[in-house]
Chains A and B, each alone.
Chain A
C-alpha cells in the first residue's frame, strides 16, 4: 500500500499528550493532525516493526518496541507514552476490565464511552479535546466526573466529529503546502525538518501553534 511508504518515521505535526488521556485518543489526535487515520499510523508503525498485531494491547500496555516507535513518531519520550498506558494510570487495573474497543490494536478509533459534557468543558477550557482514560474502563457506566449517564454512551459519531475537528485545523495548511510545493505529504514533512522548522503543533480546541527552534 502506498500510504505505508509515505508515512514518515517521525511525524511533522505532533500534538502533545494530555495528562489522563487515553493512549488511543492521543494516537488518533496525532494521526488526525497529520491527515491520516489512527489505523494508518499504527499500521505503518507495526508493519515497520514486523509486529504481531493481534497480541498487542493498545491502551492497556504497549510492547516496548511499539511504544518506542510511537514516541519517535509523536516526538515525545518513551516515558510520556508509557504514562498514558492504562496499566500505569491505574496500577491495580486488570486487563479484563478494559473495553475491547480500546484494547484491540489496529482499530481506527477506540470505542469507550464518551461524556459530551466533559468534551464541552475541554473545549471551553481550551484543552485539546480528548478521550479520558477512565472512559475505557468497563465497570464505569457513568462518567466519574459529571456523573451523567445520558450522554455517557458509545458514540462513534461524536468521536468522528472530534477527529474531523483536529483534522480540519491542519488540513488547510497541508493543502496549501501541497499546492505550493507540488509535492507529497512525505516530502512536505521532510522539507519541514530540512528547513530546521520544528512543527511542534498543538491542535487544540482554540488554537494551532507552530513553533520553530
Chain B
C-alpha cells in the first residue's frame, strides 16, 4: 500500500502539485522530486558495478528480487531496470522515507528491535564507504524531517562505521554457486 501511495505522490509532484506532508513534511514538488532522485541514486548503487542494487538488500524482504543486470554500471538508471526490480526499488524508497513508521506498512519491518528503530532502515546493514559519503554529502540538501532523522542515524552509526561492507546476499549466493 505504501508503494502505491508513494507512486501516486510522485505522479502528483511531476504534474507540479505539492506532495502530501506525510512523506517529507510540507515542501515543494521540486524539492520532493530532487530528494527522491537523490535517494533513488543511492538505492540503485551497485558496488563496482556488480551484483544487485542496494535497494535489494536495504528494502523490505518481501519485495526483494534478484535479477541479473549488465555488469560495469554502477548506477543503472531507473528506466533501464526490469519491472520487478523497479518494484523492489520503489518499496525500498518507501521504506527509506517512512523510516521508523515502516512497521505499519511492511511486514518485514515489524520485528525491528526498539534500539534499531531510530536508524531504520539504515540499521539493517552496513553501507559501502562511497554510499556513506554520498549520504553525508547530499543530506544537507534534503528536507528537515529526513535530515533530522538521518543525522541522528548517521551520528549513531558513525561510531560503528564499517571498514568493509558485508557481502550482499546475491554475492554470497554467487560465491557458493561458483
Chain A interfacial positions (CB closer than 8 Å to B): 90-94, 96-100, 103, 113, 134, 137-142, 144, 147, 153-154
B86 contacts A138, C-beta separation under 8 Å: yes
A97 contacts B7, C-beta separation under 8 Å: no
Q: How far is the CB of B1 from chain A (nearest CB, A)?
A: 10
| A98 and B14 in contact, given A139-B7, A142-B4, A147-B4 (Cβ under 8 angstroms) | no
B3 contacts A94, C-beta separation under 8 Å: no
Point out the residue from A92, A144, A147, A154 that lies within 8 Å of B13, measured CB to CB. A92
Q: How far is the CB of A104 from chain B (nearest CB, A)?
A: 11
How far apart are the CA atoms of A90 and B29 in the complex, in Å?
Answer: 12
- Number of cross-chain contacts by CB at 8 Å: 57
B14 contacts A96, C-beta separation under 8 Å: no
Residue of A nearest to B8 (CB): A144
A144 contacts B83, C-beta separation under 8 Å: no
B16 contacts A91, C-beta separation under 8 Å: yes
Chain B interfacial positions (CB closer than 8 Å to A): 3-4, 7-8, 10-11, 13-16, 29-30, 33, 37, 77-81, 83, 86-87, 90
Please name all residues of chain B whose beta carbon is closer than 8 Å to the beta carbon of A144 when the two chains form the complex.
Answer: 7-8, 11
How far apart are the CA atoms of A90 and B10 in the complex, in Å?
Answer: 11
Q: How far is the CB of B31 from chain A (nearest CB, A)?
A: 11
Please name all residues of chain A whose beta carbon is closer than 8 Å to the beta carbon of B33 when the two chains form the complex.
Answer: 92, 94
Please name all residues of chain B whose beta carbon is closer than 8 Å to the beta carbon of A99 when the two chains form the complex.
Answer: 79
A138 contacts B4, C-beta separation under 8 Å: no
**Cβ contacts A to B, 30 pairs, < 8 Å:** A90-B15, A91-B16, A92-B14, A92-B16, A92-B29, A92-B33, A94-B33, A96-B77, A97-B14, A97-B78, A97-B79, A99-B79, A100-B79, A113-B83, A134-B11, A137-B11, A137-B14, A138-B78, A138-B79, A138-B86, A139-B7, A139-B10, A140-B10, A141-B7, A141-B83, A141-B86, A142-B3, A142-B4, A142-B7, A144-B11
Q: How far is the CB of A111 from chain B (nearest CB, A)?
A: 10
How far apart are the CA atoms of A98 and B13 in the complex, in Å?
Answer: 15
How far apart are the CA atoms of A144 and B13 in the complex, in Å?
Answer: 14
B7 contacts A100, C-beta separation under 8 Å: no
A96 contacts B79, C-beta separation under 8 Å: yes
Please name all residues of chain B whose beta carbon is closer than 8 Å to the beta carbon of A139 when the two chains form the complex.
Answer: 7, 10, 78, 86, 90
B14 contacts A91, C-beta separation under 8 Å: yes
Residue of A nearest to B40 (CB): A139
B15 contacts A92, C-beta separation under 8 Å: yes
Residue of B nearest to A90 (CB): B14
How far apart are the CA atoms of A99 and B79 in the complex, in Å?
Answer: 5
Please name all residues of chain B whose beta carbon is closer than 8 Å to the beta carbon of A94 when the two chains form the complex.
Answer: 33, 37
18 further interface pairs, Cβ-Cβ under 8 Å (given A92-B29, A147-B4): A91-B14, A91-B16, A92-B15, A93-B14, A94-B33, A94-B37, A96-B77, A96-B78, A98-B79, A99-B79, A134-B11, A138-B86, A140-B7, A141-B3, A141-B83, A141-B87, A142-B7, A154-B83
Residue of A nearest to B78 (CB): A138
Please name all residues of chain A whose beta carbon is closer than 8 Å to the beta carbon of B81 when the two chains form the complex.
Answer: 138
How far apart are the CA atoms of A134 and B12 in the complex, in Å?
Answer: 11
A91 contacts B15, C-beta separation under 8 Å: yes
Q: How far is the CB of B139 from chain A (nearest CB, A)?
A: 21
